[in-house]
Every structure is written in structure tokens, then in C-alpha cells.
Chain A
Amino acid sequence: MVEQGTFRVKSGLAEMLKGGVIMDVTTPEQAKIAEEAGACAVMALERVPADIRAAGGVARMADPTIVARIQDAVTIPVMAKARIGHFVEAQILEALGVDYIDESEVLTPADDQYHIDKWAFKVPFVCGAKNLGEALRRIGEGAAMIRTKGEPGTGNVVEAVKHMRTVMGEIRRLQNLPKEELMTAAKNMSAPYDLVVYVAKEGKLPVVNFAAGGIATPADAALMMQLGVDGVFVGSGIFKSNDPAARAKAIVAATTHYNDPKVLAEVSRDLGEAMPGIEISTLPAEQRMQERGW
């Protein structure tokens, strides 16, 4: 019997994206540049995070026309973002046939307490996390892929590093706990017990984990890979730089050869200006997207 939308099929696509770069694009032309540079998927958006940040106001799902035009332009998987808790935006994106939905803090949350029940969908979801408890709550809700939140649209990798180190540190801690302490650990991190037991035993998340939020250079991508992520999302970092095609290609190469400093040195040359960055301490608390999500 043919079975569709199983967790293996959903998380399986994320497995295929590993070692790759997923790029934010807002037009079919940008999508083609990304595909040509070797992106393993694109994220179809109306505006990249840096512009969402600059515009302020309420950020919502992209117009379906933009998503559809990008789907027509490339053969690689196309992802799109829905607001946290906005299950109707997710239904619309599923009806459009997007390959992955990002329930994303980059958009303005539509629900101040609850995320989408992702088990209810055939299309897989990726969600952001700052720590292990948050990652396991999202997986408990049905997310088939996790990414660090970082701080989107800043071109500053420090928050993504912090979130990755936090998750890895918490995994190592769980691995060292005796079994009788796992229930209390689950309680303390507000995470489903069975997933806490899984992580304690296996020493890793049950799904693929990417880096996102502030990656702007090939070295940033390789840094995140060496810290143990499975691949990277680059949002504003490519199309807010002054030579997107060259930078995109260099970040793809750096993600594959993350452990080879000679290759990294070679691909990092002559890329022109990176996107302008934002120092995190200058961002008022209410403008930090990573605090969205529960």
C-alpha cells in the first residue's frame, strides 16, 4: 500500500537537504541565481528578513503568486513561511504544493500561545529553536526539521552560534543523566518525555538540524557546520550583499568543504561587500525575532 505524508517521508526530505544551503529568494530571477549557484532548496518570500525588519508592521505569508512563480522557475525544492500558529496560511501553502513550510518567527506570530499542529499536514514543517526544550516541543508538534533561530536579518552569526552551542550542550548533559533523572529533566525543559529519552540515548535530535539567522559569509556557514549543524539557511546574507551569485556559490562550496580551510580560503576571496550587519546589543528587546515562539 502506498503511504504518503509519513514522518519518514517528511523527515526524509530534510535528510536529502543535508550538507546544503537553503537560500531566501523573493523573485523567480533570484531563485534561478540560487539554483545556478548550487542551492539545495529556496525559501520563497515577499521580503527578506532584513527588509521585514526595516519595514516593521505585520509580516505575513507571501502572496501565492510569488510562491507559484518561484515554483515554476526552479526544479529544486521550494519552501515558504507561515506565521507561528497560523494553520490556515499553512493549509494554503500545502494547497500550493510547497515542499516544506517554515513556521517562522521572521513573520509576525498569529497566535500568542500555540504553534500549528504539524501532524495534521502531509507537507513537512521546519521550525526554529533557541534551545533543546524548544526543539523537542516543535518535534512533538510534528516538525520534521529544526533550525537555530539565530537573529534573522542581522548578518550577525552570534545568536545562531549561541543557539547551536546551547542545544549541543543540553544534549551532552542529557546523555550523562541516569534514567531516573530524565523525567525531571523533561519537566524542567518543558519537553516531551519520550523525545528526551530518545536524545539521552542517541545523543542527537531525532530530525535534521540546520543553522539559520545571521549567516552572511562562507566562513559563517563553515563555522556552523563545524559546530555540528547539518546544513545552513541563508536569508538576507546573499541578496543583500553586492555580488549575490558569487557569494551564493562560495557559501555552497564552504558548506560542503567546511572542514578544509584551504578551500575556505580560496572560496572566500573577492566576494565584494557582505550585507551590512547589526550588532545584537543595539536591537531593542521587542525587535528580537528569536523571542517569538513558545
Chain B
Amino acid sequence: MKIGVLALQGAFREHRVALEKCGCEVVEVRKAEHLDGLAGLVLPGGESTTIGKLLNDFILLEPIRTLGLQGMPIFATCAGLIVLAKDIEGSQQPRLGLLDAQVRRNAFGRQVDSFEIDLPVAKFSGKTIRSVFIRAPYILKIYEGVEILASHEDKIVMVEQGNLLATAFHPELTDDLTLHQYFVSKCSEYVSSAR
């Protein structure tokens, strides 16, 4: 199964390694032609303003939005979550706008306020996931159809909406493959339903 990782800027290599450990073939996506035949797409962490600009300049916003609306699974982490969201507090930066939520950028503060923590996730039978938050956003508001999967100090940090999965933290910076495996299972369902 072929999964794309948006490789415009940021920690795309770590997602590549995690997905390869899950047995996937990985394609680095820098142009629209790289989106052909994907079972899913990862939007990695990085700088959301940089990634948004490059998505716009290299004509990737519309093709990815179309695939997302068609039901292709998308897994977005940190900056990826910002790029995926409909509303970004106080910002007009380019975005996909697929996830029905409002996010706040740099919501936990500057780098000296960045942290890691064990986060329990009810969806995975309460299993704790080591979560690394780096100048991370969180979700201020969710709209209809969005399910909260995890919160930290009452702030929403992980959600799912149909084919979309998003975290404010970086599962790709740890060796825990739980979230990537879950995403890959969504991708296989998508592939078999499309047949």
C-alpha cells in the first residue's frame, strides 16, 4: 500500500520511517503528480506558514482538498493539524480547511515551554502514548462531526473526523507506532472500499 508524506518542509523523514515500519511503501509528495494512487497522506510537523505557502505556490492545495473530500485518509501532526483546519485563530495563512475545527497556533508558548508527557487515549483502551509537544497548537473549538480522542489540561490535542486524524503533538518523534498503525488501518479500509 502506497502512502504519501507531504515533503515540502518539516519532519517528513520521521513519518516515512514510521510508515515503512508499518509495512507501507512511502512516496514523498512535493508536486501534484506525486499524489497519484495514494491510499492516504500524512501532513507532517514543520512550520505551518512555510508549508501553507509552498502548498499554495506549487498548486497542491486544491488537489489534496479534493482527495480529502473524496475520503482519502489524512493524518496531520502539529503544523499539519494547522494546515488541515478550517479556522486558524487570527491568521489568514493558506490551508486545506478540511477539519471542522478552530486551532490556536503556538498555543502552549515558546520553545522553552515545549514539553513531553504520557497521554492516555480512550480509543486505544486507555493506552498511554508518549506525546512530544513542540511549539504546539491546540484545538480551541470543534464543530459538528469531530470526535475528541485526547486532551491535555482540558485542551483538545487529538481528534478524528471521518477520514481525518489529527494530533497537536508528534507521534513520529517516538518509537511508538500505535497512531501510525491506526492510520494505516484506515488507509486499508479506504483502499478496499474504493475497489
Residues of A whose CB lies within 8 Å of any CB of B are 1-6, 8-9, 12-13, 15-20, 35, 37-41, 75-77, 94, 97-100, 122-124, 252-253, 255-257, 260
Checking A2, A20, A97 against B47 with a beta-carbon cut-off of 8 angstroms, the contacting residue is A20
Chain A residues with Cβ below 8 Å from B105 are: 75
Contact B117 A19 (CB under 8 A): no
Chain A residues with Cβ below 8 Å from B47 are: 16-17, 20, 40-41, 76-77
Interface: B78 (CB within 8 A): yes
Checking B78, B116, B118 against A9 with a beta-carbon cut-off of 8 angstroms, the contacting residue is B116
Chain A residues with Cβ below 8 Å from B134 are: 9, 12-13, 16
Chain B residues with Cβ below 8 Å from A77 are: 47, 111, 135
Contact B116 A253 (CB under 8 A): no
Chain A residues with Cβ below 8 Å from B9 are: 18-20, 38, 40, 255-256
Residues of B whose CB lies within 8 Å of any CB of A are 7-14, 30, 45-47, 49-50, 53-54, 57-58, 78-79, 91, 105-106, 109-118, 132, 134-135, 170, 173-174
Contact A12 B170 (CB under 8 A): yes
13 contacts between A and B (CB under 8 A): A1-B117, A8-B174, A12-B132, A12-B173, A16-B47, A16-B134, A18-B12, A18-B46, A19-B9, A37-B53, A75-B49, A77-B47, A100-B111
Checking B7, B30, B46 against A16 with a beta-carbon cut-off of 8 angstroms, the contacting residue is B46
B113 → A minimal CB distance (Å)? 7
Checking A2, A8, A38, A99 against B50 with a beta-carbon cut-off of 8 angstroms, the contacting residue is A38
Which A-chain residue is minimally distant from B56 (CB atoms)? A38
Chain A residues with Cβ below 8 Å from B54 are: 38, 252-253, 256
